[in-house]
């Protein structure tokens, strides 16, 4: 029976010389659209938190359209990132073929 450590099932590598696990950074690409969406949601949560604490008076007529607009910006960011990555993936093999073929 093969032994699998806890960290390997979550994509973590273990450096025995340092004694701690480090995340495998080659697994996923950076996605700025998710960052923008997370920041928008955190901002709305902070606004409602300040409202609950009595510091601000947050009206839903203002916050909900701001949330919708922020999520639309996040979607646009994701679409642009996807288009740029797809374009760069297409351009790379063609450049390699053109250089080796000439």
| Interatomic CA distance for residues 78 and 30, integer angstroms | 11
22 has which bridge partners? 13
Q: At residue 95, does pLDDT exceed 60?
A: no
Angle, CA 51 vertex, CA 47 and CA 56 arms, to 5°: 85
Of 69, 70, 74, 44, residue with least CA distance to 59 = 44
Q: At residue 9, does pLDDT exceed 60?
A: no
Quote the pLDDT of residue 70.
Answer: 96
Q: How confident is the model at residue 80 (pLDDT cuts 50, 70, 90)?
A: very high
For 15-71, the pLDDT digits (tens) are 555 556 666 667 778 899 999 999 999 999 999 999 999 998 888 898 999 999 999
Quote the pLDDT of residue 82.
Answer: 93
């Amino acid at each position: 029976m093969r032994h699998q450590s806890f960290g390997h099932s979550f994509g973590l590598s273990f450096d025995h010389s340092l004694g701690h696990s480090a995340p495998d950074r080659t697994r996923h690409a950076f996605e700025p659209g998710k960052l923008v969406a997370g920041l928008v949601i955190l901002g709305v949560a902070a606004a409602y938190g300040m409202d609950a604490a009595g510091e601000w008076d947050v009206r839903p007529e203002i916050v909900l359209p701001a949330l919708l607009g922020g999520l639309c910006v996040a979607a646009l960011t994701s679409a642009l990132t996807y288009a740029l990555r797809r374009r760069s993936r297409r351009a790379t093999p063609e450049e390699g073929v053109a250089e080796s073929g000439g």
